[in-house]
Amino acid sequence: MPSRLRVLSAVIALAASIAVPGPVAAEGGVPTTTTITRTYPTPVPAYTRMLLYMRVDVQPGIGGTWGSADIVDITGGGEDLIGTVGIGNTGVETWLILENGLPAGDYTLEARFTPGSVVYEPSTSAPFLLTVEKAPVTLGYNQPDPIETHHGFSQFITALGATTWAGTDGDLKLWRVGSATPICTRTGYPLTVTCPVPALPAGTHEFYTTYSGNAQVQSGESTHWFLTVVPDVVHATGVGTQYTTFYPVTDTYRDTVGIKGTRAEIAAVTIKIYSPGGTLLKTVSLANGTGAYNYNWNGRNSAGTIYAEGNYKIVQTLKDTAGVTMTVTSYVTLSKKKLYTYTKTITKLGSSVTAKGAASGGTVTLNTTSGYAKLYAPTIYSSWAGAGWELTLPGATIYKSFYVRVYGRHSGAMGETRVGAQNFSTCAYAAAATWYDSCFASWKAIPSTSGTTLYYYKTANLSSSYRSGTKVRLLVTSTYGTTYIYKAQVVVTYQVLKY
């Protein structure tokens, strides 16, 4: 028999409003009949919220009753108050709510009505037999994704009863079909565990969980689930070479080639380098590890001599701790070219503009005889004139530095006249695009000059953002005065690979 201690946090509800008592009887009082009619749910699981229904009746034609009823457990001859509920009008079912339910077991209950007035007589119900069954158990698990051989995994399982009482004792076990022993066992609350599962051979494996049950919760077995185990592979990315061609002549440009990769699991690496004719030239071993690795090959023999030009084969073999291997073959071309450095000025006449524009009285005049562009802005800050030139750099392996400049003069002590270059990170290159001031940057002011002497006005050295392939653009704008531009230039220092 379970403990007779009850949790009496009952919520009392009335099926009808409490009636005002009628006139007092001359003597004795009106007889009443009390009954316990049913329970909900049926059957009642242990420690589950339940309702006990009862009613109080009086003889026909008499006014409504009111008062209260005690629900008493008289199992085994004792008396244990379960709860008290208010009684409203006659002949209406009233219920007592036991939020935490009762432990599993067989109970004999009575309802004892106490009237709220001497108009009515008290009454006691016939014994009501109640069986509280063990609570059902719900067994849960997570469906594992396919895994590889040699790789264990973790499997989550849980047993849930009506309340935490489910886990006060009993065993929760994880099984693999075909094995006579459980993979793991969890005893006691909470009945939730993550089981480490050892590596399994390739194929489909079937699992399930069981719970032994306890005094309050039923035993159970889960539905079966399946795990697919596939052959093991080495997990690595980016296995290959840094370049397809490198140049071992020492000049700081691709003097070595990185042989590299990134390991997502513990693995050792063996690198073999073969000549164009297939001769093994070098073997490099990297110890077990994870993450990125890199070996820089300088294309030279042990005496420091550069090998012959040609296409060299690089074979990388990665081996994990289970002995599984991955082999990746790459090819890299060894070239004996080296960098040569040049400086060149590319020039367009001022009259050979690529774009021009003016506003509010400004003008742009081109003189092809003298080769200049004339920008005129008559009203300070309200008028505007601008001209732009597109220049093409020579092809190069590396552009070391470049800047743009114009050759001309400007008269007009006020306003703003300047030269700048297009930033292609701000505005991408488009051959026929409108040239907006907002696309240009690295501005250099063109100050007012006296007389007819011509000057160079240049920007600082520009970054790669100011070059789109071999295309460079410069722009001159003025908000006041007269500006003559005779030359638009880009000055570049660049390097070319050659023998």
Other Cβ atoms less than 10 A from the Cβ of 150: the count is: 16
pLDDT over threshold 50, residue 9: no
Residue pair 161/216 in contact (Cβ under 8 Å)? The answer is: yes
Query: Which of 171, 204, 230 marks a domain boundary?
Result: 230
Q: Mean pLDDT, to the nearest integer, of 118-127?
A: 93
Residues 423 and 486 in one domain: yes
pLDDT over threshold 80, residue 12: no
Q: Mean pLDDT, to the nearest integer, of 59-66?
A: 72
pLDDT over threshold 80, residue 71: yes
Residue 5 lies in a domain: no
pLDDT for res 165: 55
pLDDT for res 214: 87
The pLDDT confidence band at residue 2, using thresholds 50, 70 and 90, is very low
Residues 47 and 98 in one domain: yes
pLDDT for res 15: 34
Q: Which residues of 226-248 are buried (b: 16+ CB within 10 A; e: fewer)?
A: ebebeebebbbeebbbeeeebbb
Other Cβ atoms less than 10 A from the Cβ of 214: the count is: 22
- Which range scores top for mean pLDDT: 20-24, 296-300, 447-451? 296-300
Residues 493 and 347 in one domain: yes
pLDDT over threshold 50, residue 20: no
pLDDT for res 6: 36
Residues 83 and 182 in one domain: no
Residues 481 and 358 in one domain: yes
Residues 143 and 240 in one domain: no
pLDDT for res 166: 52
Residues 191 and 281 in one domain: no
Residues 323 and 368 in one domain: no
pLDDT over threshold 80, residue 225: yes
212 exposure class (CB count in 10 Å sphere: 0-12, 13-18, 19+): middle
Q: What's 246's domain CATH number?
A: 2.60.40.4070
Residue 179 lies in a domain: yes
Instruction: Please state, in angstroms and rounded to a whole number, the distance separating the CA atoms of residues 9 and 5.
Output: 12
Please name the residues in contact with 106: beta carbons below 8 A apart, sequence gap of 6 or more.
75, 129, 130, 131, 132
Q: Mean pLDDT, to the nearest integer, of 138-155?
A: 91
Q: What is the tally of structural domains in the chain?
A: 4
Residue 6 lies in a domain: no
pLDDT over threshold 80, residue 123: yes
Residue 1 lies in a domain: no
pLDDT for res 19: 34
Q: Mean pLDDT, to the nearest integer, of 310-316?
A: 98
pLDDT over threshold 70, residue 221: yes
Model confidence pLDDT, tens digit, residues 414-448: 899 999 999 999 999 987 777 898 999 999 999 99
Residue pair 471/451 in contact (Cβ under 8 Å)? The answer is: no
Residue 92 lies in a domain: yes
Residues 177 and 280 in one domain: no
Residue 278 lies in a domain: yes
Please name the residues in contact with 344: beta carbons below 8 A apart, sequence gap of 6 or more.
394, 491, 492, 494
Taking the CA atoms of 404, 408, 409 and 415 in sequence, report the sign of the dihedral they define: negative
The pLDDT confidence band at residue 4, using thresholds 50, 70 and 90, is very low
Residues 284 and 351 in one domain: no
Identity of the residue numbered 326: M
Residue 154 lies in a domain: yes
Residues 108 and 172 in one domain: no
* Enclosing domain of residue 321: 236-336
Q: What's 424's domain CATH number?
A: 2.60.120.260
Q: What's 91's domain CATH number?
A: 2.60.40.1940
Residues 442 and 384 in one domain: yes
Query: Which of 133, 161, 181 marks a domain boundary?
Result: 133
pLDDT for res 421: 98
